Amino acid sequence: MFPCYTLATLPQAARLDPPAKLSVFGDPVAHSLSPQMHNPALAACGLDASYIRLAVKNPDFLPALRAIRDLGFIGTNVTIPHKFTALNAVDELDPAARRLGAVNTISFLPNGRSLGRNSDGPGFLRAILQEFGAEVRDLRLLILGAGGGAGAAVAVQSALEGCRHLTLANRTQAKADELAHSLRDLLPSQRCRTLPWNPQSLAAALPDIDLIVNATSLGMSPDDPPLLPDGLLTPAHLVYDMIYKPLTTPLVAAARAAGARAINGLPMLLWQGVQSFEWWFDRPAPVQVMRDGLAAALPSP
Ligand SMILES: NC(=O)c1ccc[n+]([C@@H]2O[C@H](COP(=O)([O-])OP(=O)(O)OC[C@H]3O[C@@H](n4cnc5c(N)ncnc54)[C@H](OP(=O)(O)O)[C@@H]3O)[C@@H](O)[C@H]2O)c1
């Protein structure tokens, strides 16, 4: 329903009705659910624009960015492997994106300059607020997989919010240590610590945690080992698994069985999309339309 374009076929996308004015750059990009979320939103708002997937190889990033600007695009999302390339490709950089070292949303400003921002952090905050009714600044967080791109984004945003306490755990602990060190100017050392990646450390930490975030890829495959030791989750925990395939991960299932509130990664995807839309159009996004678009694109649990 939403084909994938390349730099060579981009002129065809510009002749679509409505014309392509937004995109997601990636390699691979065919799996991206962004068109299913944004196209119904553009239609619902009566905007004369469509959103396309653009398969862009690394050497083509700058030519593709120039090509969409010359075609009058409003902006583009950027996904793997271009988030770091995008950082150096834009004319202006939002301070949070600079801090994260990655850009996933580009807007073309009226003066023709490009502005790079990152929706990972804002999308996370809005997901926690909307789905749990909680403010990250009030919470004690445990981030599992803090050394990866998504985990680091959530950690930086939580530190920028001044969260009550931040515990970082990563299989390769040196990455979590480095991240914790980089956050020292935002959170004092008594409010930010790292944990060894083992069941004993995780078990000891859990009673003092409000929100557990899984930012690892563990849980995507049925053969993956459990993330947390059995029997430690309680109804007081909030659990946020960033994975959305499968929709119900073993962590989400275990949390719900323990009486905890748990969500999968779809809300973050949704609220990142909402954030991008609002940056591009400077107006509230039709959230329910976007949520319905995402739900329709995924199999029922
Ligand atoms: N919902 C959303 O909108 C959204 C957005 C972005 C990402 N995500 C999800 O978040 C997850 C991470 O994505 P990413 O982009 O951050 O990937 P990434 O940069 O490749 O990081 C992967 C993380 O998973 C850890 N990990 C991988 N295999 C592991 C294992 N067997 N045991 C323990 N830890 C393991 C890695 O630890 P090491 O550092 O030790 O390798 C690293 O912390 C993925 O599941 C992705 O689908 C969701």
Q: How confident is the model at residue 300 (pLDDT cuts 50, 70, 90)?
A: low
Q: How confident is the model at residue 285 (pLDDT cuts 50, 70, 90)?
A: very high
Fold of 121-264: Rossmann fold (3.40.50)
Calculate the average pLDDT of the chain.
Answer: 95
Question: Atom 30 of ligand 1 has which residue's CA nearest to it?
Answer: 218
The CATH number of 4-118+272-297 is which of 3.40.1410.10, 3.90.1150.10, 3.40.50.10860, 1.10.3720.10?
3.40.50.10860
What are the start-end ranges of the E strands in the chain? 4-5, 20-26, 50-55, 75-78, 92-93, 105-108, 114-117, 140-144, 165-169, 192-195, 211-214, 238-241, 261-263
pLDDT tens digits for range 44-87 = 999 999 999 999 999 999 999 999 999 999 999 999 898 889 99
Please compute the mean of the pLDDT values over residues 18-34 and round it to a whole number.
94
Q: How confident is the model at residue 2 (pLDDT cuts 50, 70, 90)?
A: confident
224, 154 contact by CB (below 8 A): no
Q: Does residue 255 have a pLDDT over 80?
A: yes
What are the start-end ranges of the E strands in 6-132? 20-26, 50-55, 75-78, 92-93, 105-108, 114-117
Q: Does 57 participate in catalysis according to the annotation?
A: no
pLDDT tens digits for range 129-141 = 999 999 999 999 9
Q: Which atom of ligand 1 is nearest to the CA of 220?
A: 45
Cis-peptide into 40, omega within 30 deg: no
| 145 CA to centre of ligand 1 in angstroms | 6
Q: How confident is the model at residue 149 (pLDDT cuts 50, 70, 90)?
A: confident
Q: What is the pLDDT of residue 1?
A: 63
Q: What is the pLDDT of residue 198?
A: 95
What are the start-end ranges of the E strands in 59-109? 75-78, 92-93, 105-108
Question: Atom 8 of ligand 1 has which residue's CA nearest to it?
Answer: 242
On the question of a common fold for 4-118+272-297 and 121-264, the answer reads yes
Please compute the mean of the pLDDT values over residues 142-169 and round it to a whole number.
95
Could you tell me what percent of the chain has a pLDDT over 70?
99
Question: Atom 43 of ligand 1 has which residue's CA nearest to it?
Answer: 145
| 113 CA to centre of ligand 1 in angstroms | 33
Please compute the mean of the pLDDT values over residues 114-130 and round it to a whole number.
95
pLDDT tens digits for range 169-224 = 999 999 999 999 999 999 999 999 999 999 999 999 999 999 999 999 999 998 99
Q: What is the pLDDT of residue 299?
A: 73
Domain ranges of the chain: 4-118+272-297, 121-264
115, 109 contact by CB (below 8 A): yes
Q: Report pTM.
A: 0.91
Q: Does residue 292 have a pLDDT over 80?
A: yes
